[in-house]
């Protein structure tokens, strides 16, 4: 049946940066790769992102961050995910992420990092890899 | 493993919201365990007032629902929303963007918003939607709002799910004939002309009132209402909430609500019968030797697909 095993992804932009073109384009690319993408828009607080991830029963939370605050945001969200018991939900992050920060992000539990310049193919391959 | 007891607490406990959300996921994924759980939940349903919101894309359905949530919350009613968006017929993926307009309610524990992709079902709503309504009703929400995909003209389905149907339009979109030919005039209980700060709002309302007036309605039937709103800033939405509640009261007074609930049950039963029968027969057929033989015959050209299907079904099902 067609309804089997769709992967649900929440695309959210935490904090104050007001630039969501990238997030929207990634949402489209993921749709075209067969994902169900919940797009929650700009200026989301971490509480909003958590509640949305819970209510939507997503498999992945994808953050788009351009503000430079990716390290504290991801760390806080990962802790919240643990508190809420969302152990089977992956966190991925894209946007303006300096390469030297990627090891730190992975260390704290971010599943995939897609810094600016990553191709759509790179994103979908990276996401697909999580569900192999 | 999900338990029905956990889900039942859904509108009261944050933990249980998670259980309800997971349950809806099982339904969407057609997981076999969902059916058993639904059976356990069903006896706990029936209290919620189910509202359908439909209308063409871009008329402001999601923004209107956002404002409706605010008004219902003022009355201390707990609200759940199911927002359906279309799946791509090519990739099977979907962008579910309705809740974008409702995010200010995301952290309100008395509100539960769930996006669903149509996943190839016709008519804009699927049985999965009905099943999800069962879950939300069992979770104890007072109001359940269903937002259909914005297809506009092919959504009679909503009448088979909701107690009250609101049809949203905007000023300046073609003549009223559009509304009549679509047949949605018969489906709607409340007609909302949204974005009423735009020109021609009064004309749009008058036209709707006139068209609705042309129908023959007996005294015992609800007379559809036409209302103006500006969802963006909440104008008119308090009146809209009052109209939905008056419709509910009207149905209660006339015993119509019981009749409607019985009708919805019957329709649910019929759609379940269809789905379950089909599933069972398809599994059986796909595994049968007949099926493989027929397939060979079709492939070799010794039999056409129509005759093969007819023969197989006739061989399998005979009613004496």
**CATH class of residue range A8-127:** alpha beta
Q: Domains in chain B: how many in total?
A: 2
The answer to whether A27 contacts chain B (CB < 8 Å) is yes
In a domain, B74, yes or no: yes
Same domain, B229 and B96: yes
Residues of chain B with pLDDT under 70: 120-126, 150-156, 174-184, 216-217, 320
Residues of B in contact with A30 (CB under 8 A): 93
In a domain, B29, yes or no: no
In a domain, B216, yes or no: yes
Same domain, B192 and B298: no
Residue B260: the pLDDT is: 93
Pairing mode, strands B79-85 and B49-55? unpaired
The answer to whether A52 contacts chain B (CB < 8 Å) is yes
Q: Is the dihedral of CA B276, B281, B287, B292 positive or negative?
A: negative
ipTM, two decimals, is: 0.92
Confidence of residue A60 (pLDDT cuts 50, 70, 90): very high
What does pLDDT average to over chain A?
93
- C-beta atoms of B30 and A54 within 8 A: no
What is the share, in percent, of chain B residues with pLDDT greater than 70? 91
Same domain, B308 and B173: no
CATH number for position B167: 3.40.50.300
Same domain, B195 and B79: yes
Q: What is the arrangement of strands in the sheet containing B111-117, beginning at the earlier edge strand?
A: B111-117, B79-85, B143-147, B49-55, B164-169, B190-193, B225-228
Of A32, A39, A84, the CB nearest to B96: A39
Residue B183: the pLDDT is: 61
Q: How far is CA A81 from CA A49, A76, A77, B56, B245, in A?
A: 10, 9, 6, 37, 39
Domain boundaries, chain A: 8-127
In a domain, B203, yes or no: yes
The answer to whether B28 contacts chain A (CB < 8 Å) is yes
Residue B148: the pLDDT is: 87
Confidence of residue A3 (pLDDT cuts 50, 70, 90): very low
Residue B123: the pLDDT is: 46
Same domain, B203 and B151: yes
In a domain, B106, yes or no: yes
Same domain, B199 and B302: no
In a domain, B236, yes or no: yes
Same domain, B172 and B129: yes
pLDDT digits (tens, 9 = 90+) for B223-248: 999 999 999 999 999 999 999 999 99
Task: Please report which helix (H) or strand (E) contains residue B260, including its range.
Answer: helix B256-287
Same domain, B69 and B213: yes
- B293: domain range? 269-316
């Amino acid at each position: 049946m067609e309804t089997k095993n769709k992967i649900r992804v929440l695309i959210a932009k935490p904090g104050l940066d007001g630039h969501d073109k990238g997030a929207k384009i990634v949402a489209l690319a993921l749709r075209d790769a067969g994902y169900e993408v919940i797009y929650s828009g700009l200026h989301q607080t971490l509480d909003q992102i958590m509640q949305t991830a819970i209510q939507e029963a997503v498999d992945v939370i994808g953050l788009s961050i351009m503000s430079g605050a990716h390290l504290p945001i991801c760390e806080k969200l990962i802790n919240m995910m643990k508190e809420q018991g969302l152990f089977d939900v992956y966190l991925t992050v894209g946007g303006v992420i300096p390469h030297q920060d990627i090891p730190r992000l992975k260390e704290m539990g971010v599943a995939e990092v897609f810094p600016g310049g990553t191709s759509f193919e790179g994103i979908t391959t990276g996401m697909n890899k999580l569900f192999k | 493993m999900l338990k029905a007891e956990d889900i039942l607490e859904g509108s009261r406990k944050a933990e249980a919201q998670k259980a309800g959300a997971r349950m809806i996921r099982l339904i969407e994924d057609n997981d076999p365990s969902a059916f058993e759980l639904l059976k356990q939940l069903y006896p706990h349903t029936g209290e919620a007032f189910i509202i359908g919101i439909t209308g063409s894309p871009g008329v402001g359905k999601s923004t209107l629902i956002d404002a409706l949530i605010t008004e219902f919350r003022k009355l201390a009613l707990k609200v759940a929303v199911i927002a359906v968006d279309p799946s791509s017929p090519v990739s099977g993926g979907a962008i579910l963007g309705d809740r974008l307009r409702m995010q200010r309610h995301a952290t309100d524990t008395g509100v539960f918003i769930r996006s669903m992709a149509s996943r190839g079902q016709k008519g804009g709503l699927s049985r999965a939607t009905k099943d999800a309504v069962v879950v939300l009703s069992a979770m104890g929400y007072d109001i359940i709002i269903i937002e259909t995909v914005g297809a506009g003209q092919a959504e009679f389905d909503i009448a088979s799910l909701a107690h009250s149907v609101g049809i949203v339009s905007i000023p300046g979109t073609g003549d009223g004939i559009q509304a009549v030919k679509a047949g949605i005039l018969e489906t709607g209980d409340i007609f909302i002309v949204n974005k009423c700060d735009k020109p021609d709002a009064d004309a749009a309302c008058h036209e709707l009132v006139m068209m609705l007036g042309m129908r023959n309605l007996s005294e015992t039937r609800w007379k559809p209402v036409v209302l103006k709103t500006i969802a963006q800033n909440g104008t008119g939405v308090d009146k809209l909430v009052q109209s939905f509640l008056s419709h509910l009261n009207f149905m209660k007074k006339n015993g119509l609500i019981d009749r409607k609930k019985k009708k919805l049950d019957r329709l649910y039963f019929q759609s379940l019968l269809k789905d379950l029968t089909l599933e069972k027969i398809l599994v059986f057929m796909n595994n049968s030797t007949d099926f493989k033989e027929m397939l060979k015959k079709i492939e070799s050209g010794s039999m056409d697909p129509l005759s093969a299907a007819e023969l197989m079904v006739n061989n399998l099902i005979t009613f004496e």
